Structure 1
Amino acid sequence: MPEHTYFLKRSSHNTYLLSRQLVGRASAESYTHAICRGARCVEIDVWPSDSPEGFVVTHGYTLTKGVSFKKVCETISAAVDSLGPDAWPLLVSLECHVGAEAQVNMVNILKDAWGEKLVIGRLGTDSLEQLNQVTPRDLKGRIILMVEYYAPENFADIEAEEENNGVDSEAFAETIVEGEDLPAVLVGKIEQRKISDGLAALGYYARSWKPSEGWLQQELIDPKHILINISESLILSLLPAQLDPLIDHGLLHLRRIFPKGTRIRSSNVDVLKFWRNGSHVVSLNWQTFDTAMQINESMFVASPGWILKPKAQRLPDVDSQKLRLRVQVVGMSSLPLLDGYEDKVCDAYVKAQLLHHQQDQKWKSQTVQTTEEGDAMWNETFEWEFVQDELAFIRLRIRDNRRFKGDADLAVFCARVDVLAQGWRIVHLLNMNGERSGATLLMHLGITCITDQLL
């Protein structure tokens, strides 16, 4: 059983985008930002153009501005170098929309930019390869390229794949796209997809297949190192009926989830739903610090970007207990207010959520007016009872009660319940861009087992 199937990876979707999906701008520096913040799977979409390179990194069939493929590769290389040789490996998902002839130049750019960091072909001894036991530890400091693989049968030819749902490709077939440090480029109709042998060789350990109906029941033996690359909609269509088969399949093959194409505002999937079904890589739009990104941030904080799956997915017969979580929310200090607060105060309350696989739970404090320094006192307590769950999260939001204008989030704290430090805690609150807000929250947490009977 390949060891890498035991891990979840922190992942970024459309990494090159700075903002919106349809009319935003691409930048190579987006990769530096994502990788240095812990992303261990990033995405490059390459399209044909009339630039000197012959292709560009952009969001096809949109008005997104592009960026040089070479510059993107060099930026990724520098970001990986900055992490040091002991950093866990980086997966790069390559969505290739250019013809086989142009791929020769792409391969040369990849090799020149990434050098020895790029995994090319098979590593290790024949015996290890036969056992399919190349581990992430064998690939520290390296870059693993995901390259599309088109099987002769059983898998769909994805000329019109689901990620284009809601976007009229014909309407954008002759769109002029301005590039960063590039002349205007033409994203036009592309030839039927084909991956050259040279490019395919770079994807040996991550052969990215987009499957057709029935893939979950197929025995995928040859070729080795299959990575199932599948949309959120197709996975959701299998739930909840196929939950156990999905978890079992995830112990044999890597699986990456990408969001459907209709998420044009860079909204995100319910990341917990996909981690709970055994998927390893859930690609998120880092441009939006929504609930999924808040959970993602707390899931991988202080980690190398790879963490073990829950024991219930890796080990047989894992027992769970019933727990009681008791939280005393005392007060907040130094909350900076948004622009437009002329009186420098707001009516603040705490909204708490337990995100759990059986049933979410909620709690809300009273509303109090903050001081001009951004302080507030609640001194309230709440309790939740629930079955132990390694993917249970607690989220506390400081909200402004705007009455008839619609309440607004001002700051947030999110954490995995299993790793919560108990007792008195002063936690740092993030603003709604995912940055330290400067505010802190004083609270007391206690977790007790309330039954000796295993559930």
Structure 2
Amino acid sequence: MIHVDNNKTQTQSLPTVPEASQEWARFTKVSDGVIKYPLFRIDPDEGQILYESKKKKGIKIIPIESIKELRFDADSSYYRTLFKLPPDTQSRWITIIYIREGAYKVTHLIAPSASVFKLWKESLTKLYAVRQGLMTGNFDHVLRDVIWEKQYWKTADHDGDQKLEFENVQNLCRRLSLHFSEAELRNLFNAADVHDRGYLNYVEYQELIKLLKKRPEVQTLYEHVSGGKLDFAAFKSFMLHSQESKLDDKGLEVLFTKYSGIDYSNGSTPPSTTTKDLDTRPPDAIMTPEAFATFLRSLDNAAILNQNKVVHHDMTRPMSEYFISSSHNTYLIGNQLVGVSTIEGYIRALLHSCRTVELDIYDGSDEPMVYHGKTLTSKVSVREVCHAIAKYAFASSPYPVVISAEMHCGIQQQDMIVQIMKDAFGDALISAPVEGRAKITSLPSPEDLRGKIMLKVYSSPTLLPTKNLNISSGLRVKKAPPKTAPVDDDSSSSSSSTASSASHVSHSSLLGEIKDLKSKLARKVRSKSRTKHKEMSFALASLLVYTVGVKCRGIGASEHYEPEHVFSISENSANKYLSTSMLDLVKHTQSHIIRIYPKGTRVDSSNYEPHLYWAAGAQVVAINWQTFDLGYMINYAMFQRNGRSGYVLKPLALRPGNESLLQKPTKHYLDLTVRLI
């Protein structure tokens, strides 16, 4: 059990971690088909997994707080199959996905026995929950302090003698970036060393931590706000005038009661307070300086209260009126040229509420495969990807997922893709017969499509190999050209003419005809390239309902698109529109979805800054989720909003009927007031 005994407080406890999991055990470690047998153990106090590394000639560490996901037994069947390991290993399989130096890492372990597997599953699950609680602020302030204090004590007491000398404290402060002069730190150390022994035990170390964390400015603020006694009237005044709180009197009383009358300096934790507790609060209750400091650091004093946990936007507007969390080349976990294609990218993105994922699909020897064409990236089957999407699509958000597919398959494997999707997604998959569809006048809302999965694939009037039909895209579909394109009439005529009269033309005329022939031949090659694998099966067309991919023909009054038409443009094209047709782009995105994707030269999977395109109303601004750069962080921050649902309602100026707002330039200022009291 991880606990801290303090003679001034009650014992603080955390979930029990079996001691046996803290002992070294030899696991099978699988990576890219390479099998090793290193020793592993769990350190619950420091919150990490340790294992042998012959390459490093020492111990490597996986911090539990860096873990993004844990998978056990059947949840890791994809990898067991991928590495062609026997079925009996499945029941002892552990997959750990974590971040190291800004990159995703995956470690696969096979426990030596069922009992060890059960032990590790229990321990890792509990510790992972604790660390996630710490990182997301779900634990109260005091409990967080207990965990961190224990962790850093063990780090500083590296020889395990339960004593911290002054040099140990100096090293700890450097690690925590606490910049005290040697004289200042020596004074604090001596104040904590009440027995004048030249070292600190754990209780004295806790006292030192309190001295290190002491904030004189908070005490000064407390005196200014309260006049020495922070009762409810003073607290209410502070919340309304300084914090600009929107809570009513009842809400403020609940908040005050939660923190008042409790001496937080002795380790007590804030109670879970409701309105029924107001009657039990003494009329003369006050909030102590320690409680006030705890309140200032708590989620109750967060700049945006509860908005990161609750869906609070109107979700009944057409989908075109939302920014949608989106990914580019979702299947990659490396760069665009030699990265690894895997289901991992889909799981990662969907667990973070990404609502648009991408597949580049090619004919496989047996079934369709996903990978980045004309590169050295590895391949993953469409079947595996779809089963991963089915499992994780709505794990973090109930709102619709769009699969943006770049289709390079022939008719046979297109039909196979449709069957795979129907098997994987069932009733969640949006579809409609190609014939007899009603005309779509506006897009449905995210609320209308809760729990639904939609497919977007490029479509054009010449893709369906059949007679004219009305389809949801509003296009007249005609018979597709043969797979082997016929020789162009003009080209044929020109070619024969050149052959029959070559001896009667001048040298310059001959060069001109040769040049013309080359030009026609080039156009023919381009035409064949465009028509190759372009036919679309009826089954695939039936899945294109609200998201029909079309070519961008430009924007403006002269161009018409149906509500369900979606076109994709690169950041380069988008930048041109931003500089030349910004208002046209905004108007188009009021009723139509567009997708922006990174330019092809970003082979390192770097990201643009997505807010540039959101400002023009673009909904699907796709980023590389495997790269933790500024673009990723901006995207992450945007979609922390609205309950992390993956949908954020656009501001009024970018929605229909509010065009006048765009004609009124506004200036925004960020005013910061620093009070030195």
The answer, yes or no, to whether TM exceeds 0.5 is: yes
Equivalent in the alignment of 2:128: none
Shift of 1:292: 1.1
TM-score (norm 1): 0.59
Shift of 1:303: 2.7
Partner-residue secondary structure (3-state), 2:580: coil
Equivalent in the alignment of 1:199: 540
Report the Cα distance in structure 2 between the residues aligned to 1:325 and 1:81, rounded to whole angstroms. 37
Matches within 5 A, 1:104-143: 104-121=415-432, 130-143=440-453
Partner-residue secondary structure (3-state), 1:136: coil
Equivalent in the alignment of 2:381: 68
- In structure 2, the CA distance between the partners of 1:117 and 1:83, relative to structure 1 (3 Å rule), is farther
Report the Cα distance in structure 1 between the residues aligned to 2:461 and 2:558, rounded to whole angstroms. 13
Matches within 5 A, 1:53-452: 53=367, 55-83=368-396, 87-121=398-432, 130-151=440-461, 191-212=532-553, 214-222=554-562, 224-301=563-640, 302-314=643-655, 315-318=658-661, 322-327=667-672
Equivalent in the alignment of 1:167: none
Contact 2:442 2:591 in 1 (8 A): no
Shift of 1:142: 0.7
Partner-residue secondary structure (3-state), 2:660: coil
Contact 1:89 1:140 in 2 (8 A): yes
**Quick one: which of 30, 35, 38 aligns to 2:350?**
35
Contact 1:73 1:110 in 2 (8 A): yes
Q: Which amino acid aligns with 1:34?
A: A
- In structure 2, the CA distance between the partners of 1:280 and 1:189, relative to structure 1 (3 Å rule), is closer
Shift of 1:285: 0.5
Unpaired runs of 5+ residues, structure 1, are: 155-187, 329-380, 382-443, 445-455
Structure with the largest fraction of strand:
1
Report the Cα distance in structure 2 between the residues aligned to 1:283 and 1:316, rounded to whole angstroms. 26
- In structure 2, the CA distance between the partners of 1:144 and 1:257, relative to structure 1 (3 Å rule), is same
Partner-residue secondary structure (3-state), 1:82: coil
Report the Cα distance in structure 2 between the residues aligned to 1:230 and 1:218, rounded to whole angstroms. 19
Q: Which amino acid aligns with 1:325?
A: L
Equivalent in the alignment of 2:325: 10
Structure with the largest fraction of helix:
2
Shift of 1:288: 1.0
Residues 398-440 of structure 1, C-alpha deviation per residue, up to 9 Å, x if partnerless? Answer: xxxxxxxxxxxxxxxxxxxxxxxxxxxxxxxxxxxxxxxxxxx
Q: Which amino acid aligns with 2:588?
A: H
Report the Cα distance in structure 2 between the residues aligned to 1:289 and 1:211, rounded to whole angstroms. 30
Contact 2:443 2:564 in 1 (8 A): no
Q: Which amino acid aligns with 1:317?
A: S
Partner-residue secondary structure (3-state), 1:307: strand
Shift of 1:134: 2.1
Shift of 1:47: 1.1
Residues 371-409 of structure 1, C-alpha deviation per residue, up to 9 Å, x if partnerless? Answer: xxxxxxxxxx6xxxxxxxxxxxxxxxxxxxxxxxxxxxx
Report the Cα distance in structure 2 between the residues aligned to 1:189 and 1:242, rounded to whole angstroms. 28
Percentage of identical aligned residues: 34
Structure of larger gyration radius: 2
Report the Cα distance in structure 2 between the residues aligned to 1:225 and 1:296, rounded to whole angstroms. 25
TM-score (norm 2): 0.40
- In structure 2, the CA distance between the partners of 1:140 and 1:237, relative to structure 1 (3 Å rule), is same
Equivalent in the alignment of 2:290: none
Equivalent in the alignment of 2:364: 49
Residues 49-78 of structure 1, C-alpha deviation per residue, up to 9 Å, x if partnerless? Answer: 22x21x211111000011111000000000
Contact 1:148 1:195 in 2 (8 A): no
Residues 252-273 of structure 1, C-alpha deviation per residue, up to 9 Å, x if partnerless? Answer: 2110111121110001123111
Q: Which amino acid aligns with 1:31?
A: Y
Residues 83-139 of structure 1, C-alpha deviation per residue, up to 9 Å, x if partnerless? Answer: 47xx111111011111112211111001101101111128xxx99x65425222110
Q: Which amino acid aligns with 2:358?
A: E
Report the Cα distance in structure 2 between the residues aligned to 1:67 and 1:118, rounded to whole angstroms. 21
Greater relative contact order: 1 or 2 (C-alpha under 8 angstroms, separation 6 or more)?
1
Unpaired runs of 5+ residues, structure 2, are: 1-315, 463-474, 477-528
- In structure 2, the CA distance between the partners of 1:194 and 1:269, relative to structure 1 (3 Å rule), is farther
Report the Cα distance in structure 1 between the residues aligned to 2:666 and 2:576, rounded to whole angstroms. 31
Equivalent in the alignment of 1:439: none
- In structure 2, the CA distance between the partners of 1:137 and 1:97, relative to structure 1 (3 Å rule), is same
Report the Cα distance in structure 2 between the residues aligned to 1:81 and 1:308, rounded to whole angstroms. 19
Count of aligned positions: 289
- In structure 2, the CA distance between the partners of 1:144 and 1:23, relative to structure 1 (3 Å rule), is same
Partner-residue secondary structure (3-state), 1:138: coil
Partner-residue secondary structure (3-state), 2:617: coil
- In structure 2, the CA distance between the partners of 1:247 and 1:271, relative to structure 1 (3 Å rule), is same
Residues 326-346 of structure 1, C-alpha deviation per residue, up to 9 Å, x if partnerless? Answer: 447xxxxxxxxxxxxxxxxxx
Contact 2:352 2:396 in 1 (8 A): no
Contact 1:147 1:202 in 2 (8 A): no
Report the Cα distance in structure 2 between the residues aligned to 1:135 and 1:261, rounded to whole angstroms. 32
Report the Cα distance in structure 2 between the residues aligned to 1:246 and 1:44, rounded to whole angstroms. 26
